[in-house]
A and B are shown apart, each in its own frame.
Chain A
Amino acid sequence: MVESLHIGVLALQGAFREHRLMLEKCGAKVTEIRRPLGDSPWAGLESFDGLVLPGGESTTMGRLLVEEKLLEPLRACGLAGMPVYGSCAGLILLCREVEGPDGDSLDQPRLGLLDARVRRNAFGRQVDSFETRLDVGGVAGDVEAVFIRAPLIVSCGPEVEVLSRVEGPLGLSPVAVRQNGILATSFHPELTSDKRFHEFFLHICRSWRSAGGRCA
């Protein structure tokens, strides 16, 4: 019997419950994170095998990350190699640069672990939200993808692997990417009944753990 993976889900605001339920269905143990869990530079988060940043409002979460003193510890975990998955607002929090729908740079709190520039609300407002089906390279074919006021990756560095693209206002643009242990999607697998994306993330977490990965 393999010991189950222990995943920390950021629970400051947004759809953290959906990620928790999905991860639990995949056999992981989940703890919700609202504040530091310890005094280490990783605020006690170093005991997890991976972290999830849910969808929600990136400005709200960013503000609370700073206020709860979680921003630096989360960044430190990511820099140490701990796998982190972000969907929608979680993707925005992961990116190095953020811009508004008009392309102007926004200075909002973020982890900057993903070498990419992201445009918030890139497809427009809620009436422009959409559902489609996507092939996600290395993960699964024909994935249900739910885009809600979704962000879009405008540009990314050479280390970023693009897993899937969608035709957007800026042409064919990345909507699922991976940079080593960092995984991010513009869409919300947690709102569907398709577990494959979360299983893929847990696979990354398991590899990290079995390779002896830890924060130090």
Chain B
Amino acid sequence: MEKGTIRLKTGLAEMLKGGVIMDVTTPEQAVIAERAGACAVMALERVPADIRKAGGVARMADPAVVKSIMKAVSIPVMAKVRIGHMAEARILEQLGVDYIDESEVLTPADDRYHLNKHDFKVPFVCGARNLGEALRRIAEGAAMIRTKGEPGTGNVIEAVRHIRVVMGELRHLLSLPEEEVAGYAKELGAPLELLHVVREKGGLPVVNFAAGGISTPADAALMMQLGCDGIFVGSGIFKSSDPERFARAIVKATTNYNDAAVLAEVSEGLGEAMPGLEISTIAPEQRMQERGW
């Protein structure tokens, strides 16, 4: 019997496909998310919009918060660690969380190195803005990838940019003649072996979710139409005027992303979405997507 294999790690992400993973800060919110049809929850002390507002250093959540949320629901529970923070990751692994997000939403602990995720039994998800970044994270052991987007903004444009770049670069890689693959690996800054894996498989070897700025059912459907396997919603649920309704609507829109009649129905009379932020009003050094490499 074997545990912690890459197939078990990527396998759990396969089971989350077509689903919505929701940020929650209390057991009560976690129960609302589960009841609304979330396929997993992300346990946090503050949602990204509040982290952005608070400023300062954002760290791993208090284990008491994570444990109370794990106790409240039967669906998988994820939690975030700072980029490169081995000790925080060991703590979450010890608590028994089902997935760790090595996340740019928190203040990075290491400006040079991400975690060696092969070294853990618990699987990891990481953000990526392009194919090179995605393959570097996979090389380090990430079993799931998501777009970075721009968290806490309720503005989907950055997530759209990131999935368009990844899908475009994938198409390019798949079209290359064999002798040009090594040169492209150098250009991407990614291991050549992984480029061969992608070409053999016809796509990324792990699932790729949308994250960072998704705040309406239509946003979720858009990201699925662009080729994402599922959706993370951060501040979009519990910063809206009617969280349970928003949550249900986003779940239904994610399943039926190609059915305009369903999308129209679930979008009607939803109330206020979370307040949005124009990206150009955020100073470049305040943009979370620039964290990591």
Contacts and interface: CB of A to CB of B under 8 A. Distances in A.
B98 A126 contact: yes
A131 B121 CA distance: 13
Interface stretch (A11-19, A22-30, A37-45, A73-81): A11-19
A173 to B, nearest CB: 15
B12 A126 contact: yes
B3 A64 contact: no
A124 B12 CA distance: 14
Interface stretch (B35-43, B134-142, B210-218, B278-286): B35-43
Nearest to A55: B15
A18 B14 contact: yes
A126 B19 CA distance: 18
A146 B3 CA distance: 10
B7 interface: yes
A101 B76 CA distance: 13
Interface string A22-64: 0000000000001100000000000000000001110110011
A129 B12 contact: yes
Interface in B1-58: 1-5, 7-8, 11-12, 14-19, 34-40
B96 A127 contact: yes
B89 to A, nearest CB: 13
B195 to A, nearest CB: 22
A148 interface: yes
A128 B251 contact: no
B98 A14 contact: no
A12 B34 CA distance: 16
A20 interface: no
Contacts of B74: 59, 100-101, 106, 120-121
A177 B191 CA distance: 43
A102 to B, nearest CB: 10
Given A12-B18, A60-B37, A121-B74, A34 B93 contact: no
Residue with the greatest number of chain A CB neighbours at <10 A, chosen from B14, B18, B35, B251? B18
Given A12-B18, A57-B39, A64 B7 contact: no
A183 B226 CA distance: 35
Nearest to A126: B98
A59 B14 contact: no
Contacts of B34: 59
Nearest to A15: B14
B267 interface: no
B68 interface: no
Nearest to B5: A131
A205 interface: no
Nearest to B19: A13
A176 interface: no
Interface residues of A, number: 39
A188 interface: yes
A11 B76 CA distance: 20
Given A57-B40, A64-B255, A131-B1, A11 B11 contact: no
B121 to A, nearest CB: 5
Nearest to B20: A60
B194 interface: no
A96 B211 CA distance: 37
A188 B38 CA distance: 22
A22 B228 CA distance: 21
B41 to A, nearest CB: 11
Interface-centre pick from A13, A34, A55 (highest chain B CB count, 10 A):
A13
Contacts of B8: 126, 129-131, 146, 148
B238 interface: no
Contacts of B40: 57
B82 interface: no
B18 A148 contact: no
Given A16-B18, A57-B39, A148-B12, A129 B3 contact: yes
A14 B19 contact: yes
B96 to A, nearest CB: 5
Most chain B CB inside 10 Å of its own CB: which residue of A60, A67, A131, A132: A60
A125 B70 CA distance: 10
Contact of A130 (B3, B17, B19, B255): B3
A127 B4 contact: yes
B169 to A, nearest CB: 22
Interface string B86-101: 0000000100111100
Contacts of A18: 14
Contacts of B198: none
Given A56-B39, A59-B37, A60-B39, A67 B4 contact: no
Give me the 3 closest cross-chain CB pairs, A-B, nearest first.
Answer: A126-B98, A57-B39, A63-B37
